[in-house]
Structure 1
Amino acid sequence: MKLSINNIGKLKNAKVEIKGITVIAGENDTGKSTVGKILFSVFNSFYKLDEKIIKLKKTNIQNYLQRLITTNPFEDYPDFSKLIEKIFKDSSIYDKNDLKLRNDILYFIAENKTKSEVDEINETNDDYFENQIKKIQEILRISEEAFINFILTKNIGNEFSNQINNIYLKSTGEIELEIRNKRVAIAVENDDVKSLGSKFYLDNEAIYMDDPFILDELNSNKKNRNNENDVILANHKEHLQNKLIDKNPNIIEEIILNSKLEKFLKKLNEIFKGSISADRNGYFVYKREGQPKELNIKNLSAGLKSFGILKMLSQNNLLEENGTIILDEPEIHLHPEWQIKFAELIVLLQKEFGMHILLTTHSPYFLKAIQVYSKKYEISDKCKYYMSELDGEQAILVDKTNNLEDIFYQLTIPFENLMNKEELL
């Protein structure tokens, strides 16, 4: 997997290869997080793209049809889904013949309403009815390209608060993602995104972790978002929250996952001794092994929450083989000892499950741990290391895979300077 970024947010230029574990290290405000946000939003925009387009169309068509039958609930229309399927199946016919669409919808309503109710639609609400028909036709006529550009603009915009381009420059932003010889190029101008070139579809989605306190929000927002538009266009926090709430029960997948992630799960269980699940009231609690009492997950330490998210992802069968996970400064709430343990878990995820892992850090402990455990578990050849640094008012990424000393120097020099000052006191 290769990702190229030009003039997006703080980043002037970045070319990143992710073939196992890719580490981006550097000081604050040098564009490290930009890479992860771009990878997440582009990756997930193309995840099951065909299904997303159909769902968006169906959801909105359903809304317009609902307005035509507001007197009765959907339950009174057992064939309602068949009507929507028919509209999609015959969309090319309806595109040229709005009268047929009108008559087919009227026929459906006539089968489920009394004659007087149908006459009422024809006589008193004719203009309204025709307007809804036109709205449905407009949805059917939206091109695939328009949907792709809309989804990309919304998803990338959500990650950057709709400031995708550098607000201080007028340069066009460029993004290019290549996966298994498939490539998509994206142009960004005035925060408007356009996909260029061939179609690009993915069967896996990326998971982005940057805040262990997202566990606290699970109990504040117990009900998962049911709006299809919201789910498709969720930012990385909402996406992860939805994943943690939704279980993916599959006995076969769980057996395979437990078998392939044996070392990972063993190490994880040594630190996180228990599980997180919903109690009878739907609140998420931590159940420690051998303890009958349940602890509200808000009362877990910040450090344990980081490991808890990994535990929930594995419990819910959400870790995909050859999948992609993005970790933005995972060491922030971890003691150096736990940073080292967390790093080992990340390396084991790659080793045992072939995951593509992008992570950012400014911790020399965490960076060294990734380096050491990658060597121990023999995946050093799958690791890439980049350093983010300022280039004028913008930032660039420099490949330091063969010069890790440069990164360690940058991360440790503030401490060394402090020690030198102390000697002068």
Structure 2
Amino acid sequence: MKLDISIRHFGKINTASLKLRPFTVIAGPNSSGKSFATKALYSFFNAVNKDHLAIGFFDSCNEIIMAIPSLSPFLPKFSQAERVAFEDFSFQLNMLETIKADSFERLSFMAQVTKYALLKKEIHALSVTLDTLVSVADNDALMKGLLANVEPHISELKKIVENPTEYLFSAISNSFANALKDNFQISNLADLKNYRSAADDLAQFDFAQLGSVTLKKAALTVALNPDSFAEFRQFNTIVYLESPVYWKMAAALQSVRQDKRQLSMYGWQKINYLTGVPRYVYDLLDQLSHKRKISHPIGLDQDTINAAIGGEIKLSESGDFYFQEHGYADGVGLHSTALGITNLGLISLLLKRGVLGEGSCLFIDEPEAHLHPSWQKVMVEALFELSTKGVNIIIASHSIDMMKCIENIMEREQDNLDLDAHFGINQLSADGNSVNMSDNVFKRIAAIKEDLGQSFYEMFVDSAWLG
């Protein structure tokens, strides 16, 4: 991964220029905007990494195909004209099923546009046939109602085949907007604008020649270069790790989500209320619930992590997380396990279940949380090794110990790696601005260490003066 991004007036960030590389660090004091950057980028990458054209097309096809059984009971009552129209409709739906069998996955954007353009004639014919069915069913309110439920899905198909670029940008905008609301747990996107910025300042993500995303009040506008989609869609999986506390409460969080679904199902609550739990937590729970086939093992020695924590985090058949300590037959629930073990052990679990692999992107907010300095070194070494094996690492940190570990790795690897190409070292100030933007990665990380070590220096001076 090699992306240079400018972020302005977003959350705690005023103006930030970030270099995203295979191993990316965003460092700074508390409330500098580090987490705003990582959560926003996670939300954006997730939104743009989805194949919205294929999802929209096949979902609409499924809804139309599922309507056929509901129309079948009317067959004995059909007139000759109705029968002909219904048979035409069924034939055209069968053609759509054949189209579905031809996978659109991982096609380039332009290849998708070409394929969808070839379907204009079929979708138009389906729309005309639906109009015919509606006209001949004029005397049957129930049948007209069933056909009315089909019409929005045909309209969706028409939008996709007639203007796929416009449809895609709209879908990305909606997906990104909803992801921001869910991951920041806010009701209004306008709340994400930097409160210190001027009224006419726009919150913006600028990806240089790849495009931009602009937030004006509560309206989100995506303007991406179609040729850039390959750059944004390079990730096989995208993972966001934050507080290990969430994993101690995994069963309770799943219950909260299930309650929300049930309330929505029975019409007692609207489905769009905020639960208080960021979406990225549920995203990862969903990914961990499936054990993937691993075609090409990533080659990271998980034993190093497991040896450090004295065991291994596992997932039971019933979906419960537990810690299996070396030498003991019985596991211990994460609610009785140290937070540091959870924080470090999750990396091993993600690898074992195939969630992390070549082409993945892993965000970690404060990976140092609850870790002894010696375990911080284990964490950094593991993340660096992953970054050399095709996993894109983006961490937000204010740990001077972690910065020293990263500096040591850069010194050790400077003859083996192009450090500028592999490491993106970024520093934010307390007021949300990029600082110390030297071209030299060693100077950048030295500046971060100096800033993070300032409080220790001041305490040392105070103790010397008191002595």
Question: What's the TM-score once normalised by structure 1's chain length?
Answer: 0.78
Query: What amino acid does structure 2 have at the position aligned with 1:147?
Result: A
Per the alignment, residue 116 of structure 1 pairs with none
CA distance in 2, matches of 1:248, 1:104: 45
State whether residues 164 and 191 of structure 1, in contact with CA within 8 Å, keep that contact through their aligned partners in structure 2.
no
Query: What amino acid does structure 1 have at the position aligned with 2:369?
Result: I
CA distance in 2, matches of 1:221, 1:64: 35
**1:137-172 C-alpha deviation (Å, 9 max, x unpaired):** 332244233212222222234334333322453311
CA RMSD of aligned residues (A): 3.6
Per the alignment, residue 164 of structure 1 pairs with 192
Structure 2's unaligned 5+ residue stretches are 73-90, 101-115, 160-166, 262-270, 273-277
CA distance in 2, matches of 1:296, 1:336: 25
Per the alignment, residue 238 of structure 1 pairs with 282
Secondary structure in structure 1 of the residue aligned to 2:244: coil
Relative to its length, the structure with more strand (as a share) is 1
Per the alignment, residue 145 of structure 2 pairs with 128
Secondary structure in structure 2 of the residue aligned to 1:188: strand
Per the alignment, residue 38 of structure 2 pairs with 36
**1:83-115 C-alpha deviation (Å, 9 max, x unpaired):** 863798856544476341366899xxxxxxxxx
Alignment of 1:398-417 (within 5 A): 398-400=436-438, 401=441, 402-417=443-458
Alignment of 1:236-315 (within 5 A): 236-250=280-294, 252-253=295-296, 256-257=297-298, 260-262=299-301, 265-315=302-352
Alignment of 1:2-401 (within 5 A): 2=3, 3-47=5-49, 49-50=50-51, 52-56=52-56, 58-59=58-59, 62=62, 85=97, 92-95=121-124, 98-101=127-130, 123-142=140-159, 143-160=167-184, 161=186, 162=189, 163-169=191-197, 170=199, 171-177=201-207, 183-199=210-226, 200-201=229-230, 202-204=233-235, 205-221=237-253, 235-250=279-294, 252-253=295-296, 256-257=297-298, 260-262=299-301, 265-351=302-388, 353-378=389-414, 379=417, 380-381=419-420, 382-391=422-431, 394-400=432-438, 401=441
What is the deviation of 1:372?
0.8
What is the deviation of 1:31?
1.0
State whether residues 315 and 321 of structure 2, in contact with CA within 8 Å, keep that contact through their aligned partners in structure 1.
yes
Secondary structure in structure 2 of the residue aligned to 1:396: coil
Query: What amino acid does structure 2 have at the position aligned with 1:331?
Result: E
Question: What's the TM-score once normalised by structure 2's chain length?
Answer: 0.71
CA distance in 2, matches of 1:191, 1:399: 32
CA distance in 1, matches of 2:176, 2:121: 26
Structure 1's unaligned 5+ residue stretches are 73-78, 107-118
**1:357-411 C-alpha deviation (Å, 9 max, x unpaired):** 22121111111011112333444442232221145xx533542532433322211
What is the deviation of 1:13?
1.7
**1:298-353 C-alpha deviation (Å, 9 max, x unpaired):** 222100001121011110112222432222111121122211221221222223x1
What is the deviation of 1:27?
1.0
CA distance in 2, matches of 1:9, 1:176: 15
CA distance in 2, matches of 1:141, 1:9: 38
Aligned pair count reads: 387
Query: What amino acid does structure 1 have at the position aligned with 2:202?
Result: T
CA distance in 2, matches of 1:84, 1:158: 34
Secondary structure in structure 1 of the residue aligned to 2:214: strand
What is the deviation of 1:62?
4.6
CA distance in 2, matches of 1:374, 1:216: 34
CA distance in 1, matches of 2:311, 2:428: 38
State whether residues 29 and 430 of structure 2, in contact with CA within 8 Å, keep that contact through their aligned partners in structure 1.
no
Residue range with higher mean Cα deviation, 143-152 or 360-369: 143-152
State whether residues 169 and 223 of structure 2, in contact with CA within 8 Å, keep that contact through their aligned partners in structure 1.
no
CA distance in 1, matches of 2:361, 2:429: 25
Evaluate the alpha carbon distance shift between residue 68 and residue 242 of structure 1 in structure 2; reply closer, same or farther with a 3 A threshold.
same
